[in-house]
Amino acid sequence: MKFVAFERSMQGTGASRRLRNSGKTPGIVYGGVDQQPQLVELDHNALWHALKKEAFHASILDMELNGKETKVLLRDFQMHPYKQLVLHIDFQRVDAKTTLNRKVPIHYSGEDTSPAVKVDACLINHIMNELEIACLPADLPEAINVDLSGLKKGVSLHLADITLPKGVKAITHGKKNPVLVSVVAPAVEEAAPAADAAPAADAKGKAKKK
């Protein structure tokens, strides 16, 4: 995904406020071997729409600056407390030979056709909706795709049950095999005997009156 940035010469609270008033968003690009942080500004409307796209958060971006393209990752951005306004944004330069640690979304599919849902009417709970991974920039996926069509009643899906993309390693912070998806059997409705007992009680009452 590509976006355009422009050099920013002024910095400070006042300068940033003037930028925002003119429809721009201040930002910074840092990282890279022997490279200094670069102050940039972006068109706010274009940035606002880009931030709504998952790829802008989870993939390597092509930043055009002064006619040159640089590979970067979105690292952070600050929003106004109540306005639809991006206050500041941070990008990190990407080195092709340096391993990245990154959280990527998990995309689930096929659960509606699984035996757990279609046959046994189970409930499917997504325990994890994103996964932290380590990989080289060239191997960074936009998302981890997980097929749930084989889910069965009483069987949860663990990390070890899926195949990660080539060159991608999961970071679990000590959890050996975390649960991704749990399968919950439907609650069994208990028959209420009170409804059947009421007519019997009425019959006994009538018998005593006679």
pLDDT tens-place string over residues 4-34: 999 998 778 888 889 999 999 999 999 877 7
Q: CATH 2.40.240.10: which residues of the chain?
A: 2-93
Contact 29, 21 (CB under 8 A): no
Could you list the pLDDT tens digit for every one of the 210 residues in the chain? 999 999 998 778 888 889 999 999 999 999 877 788 999 999 999 999 999 999 999 899 999 999 999 999 999 999 999 999 999 999 999 998 999 999 999 999 999 999 999 999 999 999 999 999 999 999 999 999 999 999 999 999 999 999 999 999 999 998 989 999 999 988 765 555 555 555 555 555 555 555
Contact 11, 41 (CB under 8 A): no
Q: CATH 2.170.120.20: which residues of the chain?
A: 100-184
CA R_g for the chain: 28
pLDDT at res. 34: 72
pLDDT at res. 31: 87
pLDDT at res. 129: 96
| Span 156-184, pLDDT tens digits | 999 999 999 999 999 999 898 999 999 99
pLDDT at res. 200: 52
What number of residues does the chain have?
210
Q: Give the C-alpha separation, 154 to 122, whole Å.
A: 9
- Give CA 208 to chain center in angstroms: 69
What's the pTM?
0.78
DSSP secondary structure letters along 8-59? ----SHHHHHHHHHTTEEEEEEE-STT---EEEEEEHHHHHHHTTSHHHHHS
Topology of the domain covering 2-93: Ribosomal Protein L25; Chain P (2.40.240)
pLDDT at res. 210: 52
pLDDT at res. 58: 87
Alpha helices in 115-160 (DSSP H): 115-118
pLDDT at res. 192: 55
DSSP secondary structure letters along 75-101? EEEEE-SSSS-EEEEEEEE--TTS-EE
pLDDT at res. 162: 96
pLDDT at res. 32: 78
CATH of 100-184, picked from 3.40.228.10, 2.60.40.10, 3.30.70.920, 2.170.120.20, is 2.170.120.20
